Amino acid sequence: MTKINKAACIGGGVIGGGWIARFLLAGIDVDVYDPHPEATRIVGEVLANAEKAYAMLTGAPLPPRGRLTFRDTLEAAVDGADWIQESVPERLDLKRKVLTQIDAAARSDALIGSSTSGLLPTDLQRDMRHPERLFVAHPYNPVYLLPLVEIVGGEKTSAATIQAAMKRLPPIGMKGVHIAKEIEAFVGDRLLEALWREALWLIKDDICTVETLDDVIRYSFGLRWAQMGLFQTYRIAGGEAGMRHFLAQFGPALQWNWTKLMDVVDLDDALVEKIGQQSDEQADGLSIRELERIRDENLVGILQSLKGSHGGKGWGAGKLLKEFEQHLWAGGGAKQALDLTKPLRLIDTKVSPAWVDYNGHMTEHRYLQVFGDTSDALLRLIGVDLAYVERGHSYYTVETHIRHIGEARLGQAIHSTCQIVGADEKRLHVFHALHDSASGDIIATAEQMLLHVDAKAGKAAAAPEEVLSKLEPIAAAHAALAMPEGAGRHVGQKR
């Protein structure tokens, strides 16, 4: 993987803001230029959404967030950047002007991506002095969660530029897809546009409402497409005879006289108003902010479920998330000095919507999820990370005792602390507490026994010196602390 060192974002709307969040959360400094008076607010809101989503998306350690700087001029923003992303409004003349300015001010080896959703790179690069470094990098909203970037070169774009651009996307959790030939709207928007025109006819002709149409998608082929797309799905539909059989069956329908497909609807005021009203009804009182939150939560859930698919190897966007997490683990997150005079504060998070029951209380097993993350964080501190596990050794939890003292509620800021109460070369005995971050009060505790194992042999084994040398100083310091209240309890023991 090749990392971007400094990014510049020209234009900070919803799409530009999404790119900014992607870069910052991957630890990359970003300079922004956007003369819009509301740019700071909009970017701030997108970034806040992105941070909430990432907190739910992954337990892997995010690197220290990159530095965000708003600049007064385009030239100041692009100075020193090795990836410059243009996300200004969709007008050829405006984009050409902005790209010419970028061209003049950027490092000669900088990659210059345009977020255009339809303009041809050949048209965009016409007036540039160094057009070989310009390419389309077309993302999808929300940019911080949806991984796709369509990479499209123009006539003057060099092959080296395309290769370099493709390599820089995985370290920010994105999937570059190289579109071989440039056409207006590339691939994704071509497909969307075709479906969109048909959808507009269905609404205009009162075949159904926007809510019914959305239900038709999300209760059927939307579920298929989130994981396999169009052709792979039809390959299965063809059965054992496969794709050619499916096409032979399906071919004749293409010639049927469904004329609406061949005509363009007039999106006049009446149709706009009709869709607007139906959309209001569908939203059922949910604000855009609430819908965004629900969307992000759903996307996180889908990505996480795909991460566990295909025998744990991950599938599609879930496989990509898995690879991104491996990259994050390898990076190791923020490095900080440890305060050994008290239990270690290891996890800071908020109770996410996916963690609560219908009453807004954190679900029972999510407590153990946070405590498990706390153990994982401790293990990383002593060098037991993914690379260590892949070499064949690990710590396994053999026993856990949880006490519920209070309740965690939706949105509440919580953090966990960990005290080592015993350790030898095989065993690691810890006592975690989950705190309300506002008051510091303990909401729940978990006492755990972990055992160092040789995973291949399937049995306990002494941890090596490289691990014990990191564990022992913490254990020794914690030995001076009082035994936590509640340690050593069995279920039902009198207080």
Name the DSSP letter for residue 262. Answer: G
Residue 357 vs residues 55, 238, 338, 352, 423: alpha-carbon distances, Å: 19, 41, 35, 11, 36
CA distance 492 to 8: 59
11 is in an annotated binding site: yes
DSSP per-residue string spanning 265-305: ----HHHHHHHHHHHHHHHTT--HHHHHHHHHHHHHHHHHH
488-491-494-495 Cα dihedral, nearest 10 degrees: 50
User: Shortest distance, CB of residue 182 to its own copies, whole angstroms?
Assistant: 9
User: Shortest distance, CB of residue 104 to its own copies, whole angstroms?
Assistant: 30
User: Shortest distance, CB of residue 64 to its own copies, whole angstroms?
Assistant: 25
308 is in an annotated binding site: no
Task: Give phi and psi for 309, each to the nearest 5.
Answer: -80, 175
251 is in an annotated binding site: no
Tokens of 163: 């290769």
CA distance 94 to 123: 12
14 is in an annotated binding site: yes
Q: Which is nearer to its own copies, 80 or 238 (CB)?
A: 238
DSSP per-residue string spanning 1-61: ----SEEEEE--SHHHHHHHHHHHHTT-EEEEE---TTHHHHHHHHHHHHHHHHHHH--S-
For 136, counting Cβ atoms within 10 Å of its Cβ (0-12 exposed, 13-18 middle, 19+ buried), the class is buried
CA distance 493 to 495: 6
Q: Which is nearer to its own copies, 265 or 442 (CB)?
A: 265
59 is in an annotated binding site: no
Q: Which is nearer to its own copies, 262 or 337 (CB)?
A: 262
Q: Which is nearer to its own copies, 440 or 492 (CB)?
A: 492
113 is in an annotated binding site: no
User: Shortest distance, CB of residue 111 to its own copies, whole angstroms?
Assistant: 21
Task: Give the closest residue to 153 by CA, choosing from 129, 184, 120, 176.
Answer: 120
Give me the residues paired with residue 415 across strands.
Answer: 348, 435
User: Shortest distance, CB of residue 357 to its own copies, whole angstroms?
Assistant: 5
- Evaluate whether 218 touches 295 at the Cβ level (below 8 Å): no
Q: Which is nearer to its own copies, 35 or 258 (CB)?
A: 258
User: Shortest distance, CB of residue 482 to its own copies, whole angstroms?
Assistant: 17
Q: Which is nearer to its own copies, 3 or 197 (CB)?
A: 197
Task: Give the closest residue to 152 by CA, choosing from 192, 191, 124, 194.
Answer: 124
Tokens of 272: 């706009």
User: Shortest distance, CB of residue 73 to its own copies, whole angstroms?
Assistant: 27
User: Shortest distance, CB of residue 372 to its own copies, whole angstroms?
Assistant: 4
Q: Which is nearer to its own copies, 81 or 324 (CB)?
A: 324
Q: Which is nearer to its own copies, 97 or 310 (CB)?
A: 310
Q: Which is nearer to its own copies, 23 or 355 (CB)?
A: 355
Indicate the SS3 state at residue 64.
coil
Q: Which is nearer to its own copies, 64 or 392 (CB)?
A: 392
DSSP per-residue string spanning 148-197: EEEEEE-TT--HHHHHHHHHTSGGGT-EEEE-SS--TTTTHHHHHHHHHH
Give me the residues paired with residue 247 across strands.
Answer: none
Indicate the SS3 state at residue 146.
coil
User: Shortest distance, CB of residue 105 to its own copies, whole angstroms?
Assistant: 29
User: Shortest distance, CB of residue 397 to its own copies, whole angstroms?
Assistant: 6
CA distance 402 to 188: 49
Q: CB count, 10 Å around CB of 387?
A: 11
Residues annotated in a binding site: 11-16
Residues annotated in a binding site for NAD(+): 11-16
